[in-house]
Structure 1
Amino acid sequence: MDGPTGVVFPATGDGRRSTTVLGRAVVADALRAVDPVGARSAEHETDWRHGYLGHFRRLVEAGLLSREAALTVARDGLAALHARMRYVPADGAEVALDEVFALPDREPPLETATVTGAGEVERELSLPYRGQRLRGDDLRRRLDAWVDAGVVEPSCAEAVRAVQANPDWLDLSDQRIVVLGAGAEMGPLPSVLRWGGAVVAVDLPRPEI
C-alpha cells in the first residue's frame, strides 16, 4: 500500500499527518488539569515550530507545583499521545493503538538479542568534557568554574557533588532499565552500562545502530 505503515501520526482534516498539530494538542492536554491558562495558550499557538519552547517550559513549571501536579502532567500527556497516535497495518485500515493487538495476522514480533557485558563496572562518577572524563578534584574544580561563570545553577553543582560523595549510588546491578532510542548519541545507555545496570535497549533495525 502507498503511504506509511506501522505507528503513524494522526491525520488532520486535510489528510496531512502533522507533528505540529499533534504536539500542540498533547501539550495542551498535559497542562489542562494543572494549568488551564497554559493549555489554552498552547492550543492557540500559531507558530509552534518556533514557539513550542515556551510551552514546554510551562510544562516544567506546572509540574513544580507539587508531586501530584508533576504526575498529572506526565499522566495526561502520555494518555493524550496514546489516544491520538494511530497504526496502519501493511494491508488494512488505520486503527487506534488500543486495537493493534486485536488485529489478525500481525507482523512478526520484534527481534531480540542478548549481549552479556564483560567490562569493569565504574564506581566513581565521571563526566565527559572536551574529549576526556573529569573525575575527582578535576571535576570539583570544573563545577566551581561552571557555577562562577553562570553555566549551571549552584543546586546543580551540589547535586553532582552529592553523587560524587556517594559512589554507592552508582551501583545499578539490581536495576533493569528500558532505553528507547538506545543508539542515540545523547542517550543514557553508556552511563547505565558503565554503572552495571541491565538494559532493555530498543532501537530501529538498522545495521549502523
Structure 2
Amino acid sequence: MSQIVEGLQFTAHPETQKKSSSHSAKEIISAALASLDPHLVQQLQNEKNWRKNYPIYFKALVEYGIQNTSNPIQIAKAGLAQAQKSFQFYRDNHAYALQDLMQIPNIEKLHRFSLKGQSNQAPEWYIPYHNKQLRGVDLLKQLDTWLAHGIIEQSHADALRLVQAHPEWLDLSQRYMVLFGAASEAGPLKWLAKWKANIIAIDLPNPKVWQKIVDTVMQGNATLIAPSRTMLSADSSAAQAIEHLGANLLTQTAEIAKWLSEQPEQLDLAAIAYLDGEKHVRVSMAMDSIMHYVSQQKPNTSLMYMCTPTDIYAIPADVIQSTPNQIKHRSKLEKICTKGISQLSLNRFFQTRPSQIYPSNNQKSYAIADCIVIEQGPNYALAKRLQQWRATLARHQGQQVSINIAPSTTTHSVTKNPLLKAAFSGASLFNVEAFEPDTTNAIMAALWVHDLCNPQALANPNNQLTHPLELIMDAANHGGLWRIDYLARTALPFAALYGFAKDKLGLKR
C-alpha cells in the first residue's frame, strides 16, 4: 500500500478513487451555478473536454454575477462551501475534513523570530520602467501615457496619483503585513522592506528562500517577523536563523493559522503564493483556510489579493465603447490580414471581441472582458476564482479587502512556458503591454498602500459598492487586454509568432 501524501489534497473521485483536480473543479463550479442555471450545470457535469471548454462555465459565473447584486455573494458562498468539501487534510496517514483543520491532532507550536533592517533611509516610491526610475512629474506623465493607450483604467491612475501625493502613507511602521509566499517574484516584499513595514513572512523552510528574504529586509528599514520551528535567541544571527525559519502552506496549514491568530497585532494578510498546476489550487485553498480562520479569531484583519489579467471579468460598459484611437483606427493592411486569417480558419483566429452589454438590477449595465488564455489551464482559473470569491464575500461581510488586477508580467513562472513568453514579447502587436516584474511590484505594492490608507478606497467596507463585482474591476491595470478588438486567446498564436520573430530575428512591427 502506497503512503498517503501529507497535507492538503484533493478528495478522491467517488468512482475511480483517484484524486482529480478536474472532477473537483467541476463540482465547485457546479455548486456555484446550481441555483442559477441547472441546465448549464448538467452540461458541465457531462463535459468531456474540460481543459478546452472551461472558459464557457467561468464566463457563466460572471454573466450571472452581473444580473443581480445578490448573485456574486450567493455564488461565492456556494462555491467556497463546495471547495471546503473538495479537499481533505492528511496527517500521519489519516484524512481529515478541511473544515475540521484546526481540530487535527499534533498541531506543532511555531515560534516568532524577528530581525530588523539596517537602513535608516526614509520611505520612498518610484516606478522602475525601461531602465528608469520614474518619480514626480515623470511618473505622472507615464500614468497619463498608459491611460491614453488603454493600458490602465482611470481609477488605477487616480489611486497611484494619490500615493504619489501622500508620501506619508508609505510609512508602514504601524502595520503588520503577512505575505504568504513572501519570496514570490510578483510580490511586494522589496517595497515593504523600504517602507518600515513589519513583514510577517510565510514561505517554505528552505535556507535559500530565507536567504533571499533576509537579505531583502536587511537592506531596508523594515522589520522581519518569521515563524520558526525552534525557539531562537534574540541575538541569533541571520545565518543561524535561516536554517530554522519557514513553514509549508500545504503541510503546516493548521500550524500557520494558529500561529498567526496568536500574534497580538492587527494583521493585513496577502495571498500571493503561487505554484504550478493543481498545486496552485491547493495552495489557494490553504491560504483561504488560514485567512478565514485568522479573520474569525481577529475580526479586524484585512485581506489582499492580486488578480491576473488573463481571466474573465465584469467591466464597466463604457470600456468597450471607448476604444483608444490606435486600436480603433487599425491600418487597412491589418484589417485585411486579420479578416482573411479569421475566414480561412473558420473564425478560430481573430474572433471579434464580444460587445454585449449586460443590465443589472442596480440600474447599471456592464460588459464582460474574456481574457482567459487556454494554455494557463483550468487549475489556474479555479485558483484565482477561489480568491475572488473570498474577497467578494469578506468585503460583503464588512472586512477590509484589497483586490486589484495586476498586468501581465514576465515572471519566471510565466516565461518558462515558451508560448506564453513569445506571446508576451509580441503582445505589443495588439497594443497590449506586458510588464517586467520590478514594474509590476512597484505598482501593486503602491495600490495595496492606497487601499489601506485612503479612507475613500473601495477596499474600505464603509464605502458602499453599487455592485459587489465593482470591487474587482476598480483600479485595474490589465495591460490593454480589456480593450483589444479580438478575443485575446484567438490572437495569442499570432502574438507568439511575432514575439518569436522579434526576439530571434530582430523583426520590428
Question: Which TM class, normalised by the smaller chain length?
Answer: 0.7 to 0.9
Give the 5 Å matches for 1:53-72. Answer: 62=65
Summarize the Cα distance change of 1:64–1:120 in structure 2 as closer, same or farther, 3 Å threshold: farther
1:38 & 1:132 partners in 2: Cα distance? 54
2:9 & 2:3 partners in 1: Cα distance? 13
- One-letter code aligned to 2:19: R
- One-letter code aligned to 2:8: V
CA shift at 1:58, angstroms? 6.3
CA shift at 1:43, angstroms? 7.7
CA shift at 1:52, angstroms? 4.7
Q: Residue 115 of structure 1: SS of its match in structure 2?
A: strand
1:42 & 1:172 partners in 2: Cα distance? 50
Q: Which residue of 1 aligns with 2:126?
A: 126
- One-letter code aligned to 1:15: Q
Summarize the Cα distance change of 1:163–1:88 in structure 2 as closer, same or farther, 3 Å threshold: same
Q: Residue 146 of structure 2: SS of its match in structure 1?
A: helix
Q: Which residue of 2 aligns with 1:97?
A: 98
Cα distance per residue 1:70-93 (max 9 Å; x no partner): 666555544443343211113x32
> For the Cα contact (< 8 Å) 2:124–2:194, is it kept in 1?
no
2:177 & 2:39 partners in 1: Cα distance? 32
> For the Cα contact (< 8 Å) 1:177–1:198, is it kept in 2?
yes
CA shift at 1:186, angstroms? 0.4
Q: Which residue of 2 aligns with 1:180?
A: 180
The normalised TM-score by structure 1 is 0.74
Q: Indicate the larger mover: 23-32 or 174-183.
A: 23-32
> For the Cα contact (< 8 Å) 1:10–1:85, is it kept in 2?
yes
2:38 & 2:152 partners in 1: Cα distance? 27
- One-letter code aligned to 2:149: A
> For the Cα contact (< 8 Å) 1:24–1:42, is it kept in 2?
no
Aligned length: 204
Q: Which residue of 2 aligns with 1:26?
A: 28
- One-letter code aligned to 1:135: R
- One-letter code aligned to 1:163: V
> For the Cα contact (< 8 Å) 1:124–1:164, is it kept in 2?
no
Q: Which residue of 1 aligns with 2:147?
A: 147
Q: Which residue of 2 aligns with 1:6?
A: 7
Q: Which residue of 2 aligns with 1:82?
A: 84
- One-letter code aligned to 2:51: R
Q: Which residue of 2 aligns with 1:160?
A: 160
1:173 & 1:184 partners in 2: Cα distance? 22
1:39 & 1:121 partners in 2: Cα distance? 60
Q: Residue 83 of structure 2: SS of its match in structure 1?
A: helix
Larger Rg, first or second structure (1 or 2): 2
Q: Residue 2 of structure 1: SS of its match in structure 2?
A: coil
- One-letter code aligned to 2:146: W
1:198 & 1:64 partners in 2: Cα distance? 42
> For the Cα contact (< 8 Å) 1:127–1:133, is it kept in 2?
yes
Percent of aligned pairs with the same residue?
Answer: 30
CA shift at 1:123, angstroms? 3.7
CA shift at 1:96, angstroms? 0.7
2:39 & 2:115 partners in 1: Cα distance? 44
Q: Does 1:16 align with 2:18?
A: yes
1:54 & 1:18 partners in 2: Cα distance? 20
- One-letter code aligned to 1:194: K
> For the Cα contact (< 8 Å) 2:28–2:79, is it kept in 1?
yes
Structure 2 unaligned segments of length 5 or more: list them.
Answer: 210-509
> For the Cα contact (< 8 Å) 2:96–2:104, is it kept in 1?
no
CA shift at 1:5, angstroms? 1.0
2:182 & 2:58 partners in 1: Cα distance? 24
The normalised TM-score by structure 2 is 0.34
Q: Does 1:114 align with 2:114?
A: yes
- One-letter code aligned to 2:10: F
> For the Cα contact (< 8 Å) 1:8–1:86, is it kept in 2?
yes
- One-letter code aligned to 2:27: A
Q: Which residue of 2 aligns with 1:193?
A: 193
1:163 & 1:138 partners in 2: Cα distance? 15
Summarize the Cα distance change of 1:175–1:205 in structure 2 as closer, same or farther, 3 Å threshold: same
CA RMSD in angstroms comes to 3.5
